[in-house]
Amino acid sequence: MPRPKVFVTRRIPDEGLNRIAAACDVDLWPDRLPPPADTLLARVKGCDGLVSLLTDRVDGPLLDAAPRLRVVSNYAVGFNNVDVPACTARGVCVGNTPGVLTDATADTAVMLLLAAARRLGEATTDAKEGRWLTWEPLGWLGQDLVGRTLGVVGMGRIGFAVAKRLHHGWGMKVLYTEQVPRPEADKEFGARRVDLDELLRESDFVSAHVDLNPSTKGMFGAEQFRKMKRTAVFINTARGPLVDQAALAEALRSGTIFAAGLDVTEPEPLPRGHELLGLPNCVIAPHVASATVDTRNAMARICAENLLAGVRGEPLPHWVNPEVAGNRRQ
């Protein structure tokens, strides 16, 4: 039997890539930037499997151009880049890499919160560029953490992990929004489930951890920032489109809120000269939440397992659209 043919849109860790290469003929895109859309379309023709990233749009036209394609293994927890209904309608399996990013992403949220609250980006830039003249009683004054209130928007695995760190580490009170109560959060943190308006009004730190969907896109805009305290810090490690970035920039510039820490933006990267990049009270990281050796290796292993199961006609270990099982491409 011929080996399955697979297109991999970027080099992933060898933990996963070597497993795929041992069982498949791999066409690997070597560049740091993703393949252009027309190149992706051309390279996936004749493939049985596709390893994609969030930057790769997988839609109906691409699927129709690749009639042999049986599985899309997304190297990410999210899969907003994949038209899942289109895949399901064509009998193509979709896999993702959930469950392994929780601690790394929670650590990143806390890192950004600390950096933004204590003006770390501004202070280190001043130190490097010669604006640090001496110890100053009023220099780089930030916000305290101990005993303050954390607002978690979306108490899923990552939101829970962030609350755990900040409650037990800094004694923070915890408010959260969620569609259903989380008794374990209430029990461990004395957390209180509230609506978004109350959370914004009462929290000293607001950390976003919701999925991106039509109801959450742009959920943080001018109205929401006006409801927050002038000393509040906003953190986003979830998805860039949750935020109206023009409204956030104005809130930071005008002092409506104190600071922000972002690991995700829209687009990624932000273009040079973007207003958020020029604001000293906005700490921006280049989407590094999962960037630890263990986490990225674990993602690669899961990605490979999903891909290999898909090309073999087996159930995917992490299957986004299991309903396709009875209608899979053969």
Which residues are annotated as catalytic?
A: 239, 268, 287
The residue assigned the tokens 């992706």 is: 40
Residues across the chain: 330
Orientation angle between helical segments 293-312 and 14-23, nearest 10 degrees: 20
Task: Find out whether 13 and 32 touch, Cβ atoms under 8 Å.
Answer: no
Q: What are the tokens at 176?
A: 């959260």
Residues 281 and 259: their CA atoms lie apart, in Å, by: 5
Task: Find out whether 90 and 67 touch, Cβ atoms under 8 Å.
Answer: no
Q: In the sheet that 93-95 helps form, which strands lie side by side, from edge to edge?
A: 25-28, 5-8, 49-52, 71-74, 93-95
